[in-house]
Amino acid sequence: MNNSNKSLLEIHLAVFLFGVSGLFGKLLSLPSIIIVLGRVCFSSLFLLLLLLYIKQDIKLKEKKHYLYFIIMGVILAIHWTTFFQSIQVSTVAIGLLSFSTFPVFVTFLEPYFFKENIKLSNIVVAIITFLGIVLVIPSFEFGNSVTQGVIWGLVSGFTYGILSVLNKKYVKEYPSSVIAFYEQFIAAIILIPFYFLQKPIIQTNDILLLALLGVVFTGISHLLFINSLKDIKAQTAGIISSLEPVYGIVFAAFLLSEIPSLREVLGGIVILSAVFYSTFKSRQI
């Protein structure tokens, strides 16, 4: 298996885990910011133990890189908090589909960061993906939960678009495990004060779910995702990630009885078509 195909396999597995992780927003009866705090605490601990086990040096090459990673950690905290907030005020489907706008942001952010030309095919695929997302949303009324969920999801998508581009910028300098550790550890530090402000009541079952979310659906999945960026473009990774809501919607239907509407199904088909096209094109990288 060549590097390109290996990266494709890694990102598809990562996206599957990402999609299912959205269900934790419904399975956990905790504020979104506390869910994210628990998530990054367990994930950063897992990554730290992994790095110690493989004896990986976590010292950064330049002092200014620490500042960049702090910024990335803050962006990650905002992304995940708005992501779970979107799901909690609406549904898993709305949260995942509105978040999936991030490939559109990446399409225009990556050329700015890497001095590349914007390809027409990437713009077309991004537009098709966005149209698929619009299709699942019946109306935009600020007073209803669907619109609120979409707004939170768009913020989540925008911040993740920025983070995806920054990850690609540093993935050639540092192992994916080091990048993921710094981002999630810093996010944990940033969010700790909110635990004392909100003083949530956490049950044993909540701790177990947060551990599962942090280790499997965060630590492992993000290692796979960031590592895949070595051999595929962030735009390609972004379009493939549009498959995330499909996984989430299917599992939400079985586990939470959130049955998707016909519009959501049609939108999912449009998104899935864009994913397959992107996967085919990435083999030419």
Average pLDDT over residues 240-263: 82
Side chain identity, residue 164 = S
Q: Determine the pLDDT at residue 140.
A: 65
Backbone CA torsion sign across 160, 164, 165, 166: positive
* Short-list 7, 153, 3, 178, CA closest to 81: 153
Which of 126-135, 171-180, 230-239, 273-282 shows the lowest per-residue confidence on average (mean pLDDT)?
A: 273-282
180 close to 226: Cβ distance less than 8 angstroms: yes
Rounded Cα distance, 158 and 217, in Å? 21
Rounded Cα distance, 23 and 265, in Å? 18
Average pLDDT, the chain: 84
Q: Determine the pLDDT at residue 24.
A: 93
The predicted-structure confidence for 95-129, as pLDDT tens digits, reads as follows: 888 887 777 777 777 777 666 677 777 778 778 87
pLDDT band for 83, please (50, 70, 90 cuts). very high
Backbone CA torsion sign across 163, 166, 172, 175: negative
Rounded Cα distance, 89 and 163, in Å? 24
Residue 34 Cα distances to 22, 72, 76, 82, angstroms: 15, 19, 14, 12
Average pLDDT over residues 24-48: 95
Other residues' Cβ atoms within 10 Å of the Cβ of residue 273? 15
| Burial class, 109, CB count within 10 angstroms (exposed 0-12 / middle 13-18 / buried 19+) | buried
Average pLDDT over residues 142-153: 81
168 close to 227: Cβ distance less than 8 angstroms: no
Q: Half-sphere exposure of 31 toward its Cβ, with a 13 Å CA cutoff? A: 12
Identify the domain containing residue 259 by its residue range: 3-282
* Short-list 274, 239, 184, 212, CA closest to 17: 212
Q: Determine the pLDDT at residue 147.
A: 78
What tokens were used for 151? 């707004």
Q: Can you give the C-alpha Rg of the chain in angstroms?
A: 18
pTM confidence score:
0.84
Overall number of domains in the chain? 1
Average pLDDT over residues 121-138: 77
Q: Determine the pLDDT at residue 238.
A: 63
Three-class SS of residue 229? coil
Which of 73-87, 146-160, 225-239, 260-274 shows the lowest per-residue confidence on average (mean pLDDT)?
A: 225-239
Rounded Cα distance, 218 and 197, in Å? 25
Q: Determine the pLDDT at residue 206.
A: 94
Rounded Cα distance, 37 and 2, in Å? 37
Q: Determine the pLDDT at residue 125.
A: 77
Other residues' Cβ atoms within 10 Å of the Cβ of residue 207? 12
